[in-house]
Structure 1
Amino acid sequence: MMIERSQTTAFDYDLHGGTDLTRIQWHFFDRSRLPVAVQTWELPPGGAEGMHAHPHEDPLEELYLVVDGSAVMRVDGQTFEMGPGDAVLAPVGSEHDVRNPGETTLKLVVVWGRPAPADWSHYGTAKAARRAVDRREG
Protein backbone atom coordinates (compact mmCIF):
# COMPACT_ATOMS: atom_id res chain seq x y z
CA MET A 1 0.00 0.00 0.00
CA MET A 2 1.43 3.37 -1.02
CA ILE A 3 -1.03 5.49 0.96
CA GLU A 4 -1.58 5.49 4.68
CA ARG A 5 -4.79 7.13 5.83
CA SER A 6 -4.94 9.29 8.93
CA GLN A 7 -5.59 7.33 12.16
CA THR A 8 -5.55 3.90 10.45
CA THR A 9 -2.61 2.67 12.55
CA ALA A 10 -2.79 5.19 15.40
CA PHE A 11 -2.37 4.19 19.03
CA ASP A 12 -2.40 5.89 22.44
CA TYR A 13 0.95 6.07 24.22
CA ASP A 14 2.41 7.44 27.45
CA LEU A 15 5.42 9.49 26.35
CA HIS A 16 8.20 10.02 28.91
CA GLY A 17 5.81 10.27 31.86
CA GLY A 18 3.73 13.02 30.24
CA THR A 19 0.45 14.25 31.64
CA ASP A 20 -1.91 12.42 29.26
CA LEU A 21 -1.77 9.73 26.64
CA THR A 22 -0.62 10.97 23.24
CA ARG A 23 -2.30 9.69 20.08
CA ILE A 24 0.50 8.59 17.73
CA GLN A 25 0.59 7.35 14.19
CA TRP A 26 3.99 6.04 13.07
CA HIS A 27 3.86 6.58 9.34
CA PHE A 28 4.84 3.57 7.22
CA PHE A 29 6.23 1.66 10.22
CA ASP A 30 8.24 -1.32 8.94
CA ARG A 31 7.72 -0.20 5.34
CA SER A 32 9.78 2.96 4.87
CA ARG A 33 13.52 2.58 4.31
CA LEU A 34 14.24 6.14 5.50
CA PRO A 35 16.65 6.20 8.47
CA VAL A 36 14.18 8.24 10.56
CA ALA A 37 10.84 7.75 12.27
CA VAL A 38 8.05 9.99 10.96
CA GLN A 39 5.12 10.26 13.34
CA THR A 40 1.99 12.35 13.85
CA TRP A 41 1.30 13.15 17.49
CA GLU A 42 -1.93 14.50 18.94
CA LEU A 43 -1.80 15.93 22.46
CA PRO A 44 -5.06 16.82 24.22
CA PRO A 45 -5.53 20.23 25.84
CA GLY A 46 -3.14 20.45 28.78
CA GLY A 47 -1.23 17.36 27.58
CA ALA A 48 2.56 17.19 27.76
CA GLU A 49 5.20 14.81 26.46
CA GLY A 50 7.30 14.90 29.63
CA MET A 51 10.77 16.40 30.08
CA HIS A 52 13.47 14.01 28.88
CA ALA A 53 16.78 13.74 27.01
CA HIS A 54 18.27 11.19 24.66
CA PRO A 55 21.77 10.49 25.94
CA HIS A 56 24.83 10.21 23.75
CA GLU A 57 24.83 6.42 24.35
CA ASP A 58 21.54 6.25 22.39
CA PRO A 59 21.77 9.43 20.29
CA LEU A 60 18.48 10.65 18.91
CA GLU A 61 17.71 14.02 17.37
CA GLU A 62 14.09 15.12 17.13
CA LEU A 63 12.32 17.68 14.97
CA TYR A 64 8.89 18.88 16.12
CA LEU A 65 6.64 20.61 13.54
CA VAL A 66 3.27 22.03 14.60
CA VAL A 67 0.49 21.19 12.16
CA ASP A 68 -2.52 22.45 14.13
CA GLY A 69 -3.04 24.09 17.51
CA SER A 70 -0.49 25.72 19.78
CA ALA A 71 2.51 24.33 21.60
CA VAL A 72 5.07 25.36 24.17
CA MET A 73 8.40 23.63 23.69
CA ARG A 74 11.24 23.69 26.21
CA VAL A 75 14.76 22.82 25.08
CA ASP A 76 17.72 23.17 27.45
CA GLY A 77 16.08 25.91 29.49
CA GLN A 78 14.76 27.90 26.52
CA THR A 79 11.00 28.17 25.97
CA PHE A 80 9.43 28.49 22.53
CA GLU A 81 5.78 29.30 21.84
CA MET A 82 4.76 27.64 18.60
CA GLY A 83 1.88 27.70 16.14
CA PRO A 84 1.13 25.97 12.83
CA GLY A 85 4.21 25.79 10.61
CA ASP A 86 6.68 26.44 13.46
CA ALA A 87 9.36 23.84 14.12
CA VAL A 88 11.91 23.20 16.88
CA LEU A 89 14.94 20.91 16.79
CA ALA A 90 15.93 18.98 19.92
CA PRO A 91 19.58 17.95 19.44
CA VAL A 92 21.14 14.84 20.97
CA GLY A 93 21.46 15.16 24.76
CA SER A 94 19.16 18.18 25.09
CA GLU A 95 16.54 18.25 27.85
CA HIS A 96 13.22 18.84 26.08
CA ASP A 97 9.46 18.68 26.40
CA VAL A 98 6.43 19.78 24.38
CA ARG A 99 3.06 20.64 25.86
CA ASN A 100 -0.33 21.79 24.65
CA PRO A 101 -1.38 25.02 26.41
CA GLY A 102 -4.44 25.42 24.18
CA GLU A 103 -8.08 24.43 24.39
CA THR A 104 -7.98 22.24 21.27
CA THR A 105 -5.92 19.22 20.26
CA LEU A 106 -2.29 19.93 19.34
CA LYS A 107 -1.21 18.09 16.20
CA LEU A 108 2.50 17.69 15.47
CA VAL A 109 4.67 15.89 12.98
CA VAL A 110 7.68 14.52 14.84
CA VAL A 111 10.69 13.21 12.93
CA TRP A 112 13.42 11.48 14.91
CA GLY A 113 16.48 9.39 14.32
CA ARG A 114 20.20 9.05 14.81
CA PRO A 115 22.13 12.02 13.41
CA ALA A 116 24.46 11.29 10.50
CA PRO A 117 26.05 13.36 7.79
CA ALA A 118 24.01 13.88 4.63
CA ASP A 119 24.91 15.72 1.46
CA TRP A 120 21.87 17.33 -0.13
CA SER A 121 23.89 19.96 -2.03
CA HIS A 122 23.08 18.70 -5.52
CA TYR A 123 19.31 19.13 -5.06
CA GLY A 124 17.68 22.36 -6.21
CA THR A 125 15.66 22.70 -3.01
CA ALA A 126 18.85 22.40 -0.94
CA LYS A 127 20.43 25.20 -2.97
CA ALA A 128 17.36 27.38 -2.46
CA ALA A 129 17.33 26.57 1.28
CA ARG A 130 21.01 27.55 1.54
CA ARG A 131 20.25 30.93 -0.10
CA ALA A 132 17.29 31.49 2.28
CA VAL A 133 19.41 30.68 5.34
CA ASP A 134 22.26 32.89 4.11
CA ARG A 135 19.82 35.81 3.56
CA ARG A 136 18.42 35.39 7.07
CA GLU A 137 21.86 35.20 8.66
CA GLY A 138 23.42 37.89 6.42
Structure 2
Amino acid sequence: MDPVDRRGRYAVEFAMHEGRGPLSVEHHFAGDSQLMAAVQTWTLGPGACEGMHAHDDPPLEELYLVMEGRARIRQDGESFELGPGDSLRSPAGTPHDLANPGEGPLRVVVIWGPPGTFDQSGFGSFRRALEARRAADA
Protein backbone atom coordinates (compact mmCIF):
# COMPACT_ATOMS: atom_id res chain seq x y z
CA MET A 1 0.00 0.00 0.00
CA ASP A 2 1.35 3.41 -1.01
CA PRO A 3 1.36 5.77 2.01
CA VAL A 4 0.66 8.78 -0.27
CA ASP A 5 -2.55 9.71 -2.10
CA ARG A 6 -1.70 12.25 -4.82
CA ARG A 7 -4.19 15.03 -5.51
CA GLY A 8 -6.66 14.07 -8.21
CA ARG A 9 -5.32 10.56 -8.85
CA TYR A 10 -8.43 8.80 -7.58
CA ALA A 11 -11.01 11.56 -8.06
CA VAL A 12 -14.44 10.47 -9.29
CA GLU A 13 -17.42 12.47 -10.46
CA PHE A 14 -20.27 11.83 -8.05
CA ALA A 15 -23.75 13.30 -7.58
CA MET A 16 -24.66 13.59 -3.90
CA HIS A 17 -28.14 13.67 -2.41
CA GLU A 18 -29.81 14.87 -5.61
CA GLY A 19 -27.40 17.82 -5.83
CA ARG A 20 -26.50 19.54 -9.08
CA GLY A 21 -23.49 20.71 -11.01
CA PRO A 22 -20.00 19.33 -11.29
CA LEU A 23 -18.80 17.65 -8.10
CA SER A 24 -15.76 15.42 -7.83
CA VAL A 25 -14.82 13.36 -4.78
CA GLU A 26 -11.45 12.07 -3.68
CA HIS A 27 -11.97 9.45 -0.95
CA HIS A 28 -8.54 9.41 0.67
CA PHE A 29 -7.19 5.90 1.24
CA ALA A 30 -10.52 4.25 0.39
CA GLY A 31 -10.29 0.60 1.36
CA ASP A 32 -6.94 1.07 3.14
CA SER A 33 -7.54 3.39 6.10
CA GLN A 34 -8.61 2.00 9.46
CA LEU A 35 -9.89 5.34 10.77
CA MET A 36 -13.47 5.30 12.02
CA ALA A 37 -14.16 8.24 9.69
CA ALA A 38 -14.06 8.87 5.96
CA VAL A 39 -11.73 11.66 4.82
CA GLN A 40 -12.57 13.14 1.44
CA THR A 41 -11.79 16.18 -0.69
CA TRP A 42 -14.71 17.50 -2.70
CA THR A 43 -14.37 19.95 -5.57
CA LEU A 44 -17.56 21.74 -6.59
CA GLY A 45 -17.82 23.88 -9.69
CA PRO A 46 -19.59 27.25 -9.68
CA GLY A 47 -23.27 26.82 -8.83
CA ALA A 48 -22.87 23.18 -7.78
CA CYS A 49 -24.48 21.88 -4.60
CA GLU A 50 -24.60 18.70 -2.60
CA GLY A 51 -28.36 18.67 -2.04
CA MET A 52 -30.29 19.03 1.21
CA HIS A 53 -30.06 15.88 3.33
CA ALA A 54 -29.56 14.54 6.86
CA HIS A 55 -27.67 11.50 8.14
CA ASP A 56 -29.78 9.66 10.66
CA ASP A 57 -29.85 6.05 9.43
CA PRO A 58 -27.09 5.29 10.07
CA PRO A 59 -26.28 8.35 12.17
CA LEU A 60 -23.25 10.18 10.78
CA GLU A 61 -21.60 13.43 11.81
CA GLU A 62 -19.84 15.53 9.16
CA LEU A 63 -17.19 18.21 9.32
CA TYR A 64 -16.65 20.54 6.33
CA LEU A 65 -13.32 22.41 6.09
CA VAL A 66 -13.03 24.93 3.23
CA MET A 67 -9.63 24.85 1.54
CA GLU A 68 -10.29 27.05 -1.50
CA GLY A 69 -13.17 29.21 -2.72
CA ARG A 70 -16.39 30.22 -0.98
CA ALA A 71 -19.02 27.91 0.49
CA ARG A 72 -22.60 28.39 1.55
CA ILE A 73 -23.96 25.79 3.92
CA ARG A 74 -27.62 25.74 4.84
CA GLN A 75 -28.09 23.87 8.06
CA ASP A 76 -31.10 23.48 10.30
CA GLY A 77 -32.83 26.59 8.90
CA GLU A 78 -29.74 28.87 8.92
CA SER A 79 -27.28 29.84 6.18
CA PHE A 80 -23.53 30.07 6.79
CA GLU A 81 -20.92 31.64 4.48
CA LEU A 82 -17.46 30.07 4.78
CA GLY A 83 -14.08 30.88 3.26
CA PRO A 84 -10.68 29.21 3.27
CA GLY A 85 -9.81 27.88 6.71
CA ASP A 86 -13.41 28.04 8.00
CA SER A 87 -15.15 24.85 9.07
CA LEU A 88 -18.66 23.74 9.99
CA ARG A 89 -19.83 20.70 11.95
CA SER A 90 -23.08 19.02 11.02
CA PRO A 91 -24.33 16.75 13.82
CA ALA A 92 -26.05 13.48 12.96
CA GLY A 93 -29.66 13.95 11.85
CA THR A 94 -29.27 17.68 11.09
CA PRO A 95 -30.58 18.77 7.64
CA HIS A 96 -27.81 20.48 5.65
CA ASP A 97 -26.62 21.35 2.13
CA LEU A 98 -23.24 22.53 0.81
CA ALA A 99 -23.18 24.85 -2.22
CA ASN A 100 -20.63 26.81 -4.23
CA PRO A 101 -22.01 30.36 -4.69
CA GLY A 102 -18.74 31.61 -6.19
CA GLU A 103 -17.37 31.94 -9.70
CA GLY A 104 -14.40 29.61 -9.17
CA PRO A 105 -13.96 26.10 -7.79
CA LEU A 106 -14.76 25.24 -4.17
CA ARG A 107 -12.44 22.67 -2.52
CA VAL A 108 -13.62 21.25 0.79
CA VAL A 109 -12.20 18.55 3.02
CA VAL A 110 -15.12 16.52 4.34
CA ILE A 111 -14.71 14.15 7.27
CA TRP A 112 -17.64 11.96 8.22
CA GLY A 113 -18.31 9.03 10.47
CA PRO A 114 -20.41 7.69 13.31
CA PRO A 115 -20.83 10.00 16.30
CA GLY A 116 -18.74 9.09 19.31
CA THR A 117 -15.89 10.19 21.48
CA PHE A 118 -12.52 8.96 22.62
CA ASP A 119 -10.32 10.25 25.39
CA GLN A 120 -7.99 12.87 23.90
CA SER A 121 -7.02 14.35 27.26
CA GLY A 122 -3.54 12.84 27.09
CA PHE A 123 -2.66 14.94 24.04
CA GLY A 124 -1.16 18.36 24.78
CA SER A 125 -2.52 19.87 21.57
CA PHE A 126 -6.06 18.88 22.60
CA ARG A 127 -5.69 20.47 26.03
CA ARG A 128 -4.32 23.68 24.47
CA ALA A 129 -7.20 23.73 21.96
CA LEU A 130 -9.75 23.47 24.79
CA GLU A 131 -8.01 26.30 26.65
CA ALA A 132 -8.02 28.48 23.53
CA ARG A 133 -11.72 27.81 22.90
CA ARG A 134 -12.63 28.65 26.51
CA ALA A 135 -10.59 31.87 26.42
CA ALA A 136 -12.07 32.97 23.07
CA ASP A 137 -15.62 32.24 24.24
CA ALA A 138 -15.20 34.01 27.62
TM-score past 0.5 threshold:
yes
CA distance in 1, matches of 2:60, 2:49: 19
Q: Which residue of 2 aligns with 1:66?
A: 66
Q: Which residue of 2 aligns with 1:112?
A: 112
Q: Which residue of 2 aligns with 1:125?
A: 125
Stretches of 4+ aligned residues off by more than 4 angstroms: none
Question: Given residue 100 of structure 1, which amino acid in structure 2 is its aligned partner?
Answer: N
The DSSP-based 3-state class of the residue aligned with 1:130 is helix
Q: Which residue of 1 aligns with 2:33?
A: 32
8 Å Cα contact 1:15-1:21 kept in structure 2:
no
Which ranges of structure 1 fall in alignment gaps of 5 or more residues? none
CA distance in 2, matches of 1:66, 1:24: 14
CA distance in 1, matches of 2:46, 2:18: 16
Deviations along 1:67-101, one digit per CA (max 9) or x if unpaired, are: 00000001101110000000000101100001000
Q: Which residue of 1 aligns with 2:6?
A: 5
Which ranges of structure 2 fall in alignment gaps of 5 or more residues? none
CA distance in 1, matches of 2:89, 2:133: 16
Question: Given residue 7 of structure 1, which amino acid in structure 2 is its aligned partner?
Answer: G
Q: Which moved more, 1:80-89 or 1:115-124?
A: 115-124
Deviations along 1:41-61, one digit per CA (max 9) or x if unpaired, are: 000000000000111x31000
Question: Given residue 72 of structure 1, which amino acid in structure 2 is its aligned partner?
Answer: R
What TM-score do you get using the length of structure 1 for normalisation?
0.97
What TM-score do you get using the length of structure 2 for normalisation?
0.97
Identity of aligned residues (%): 44
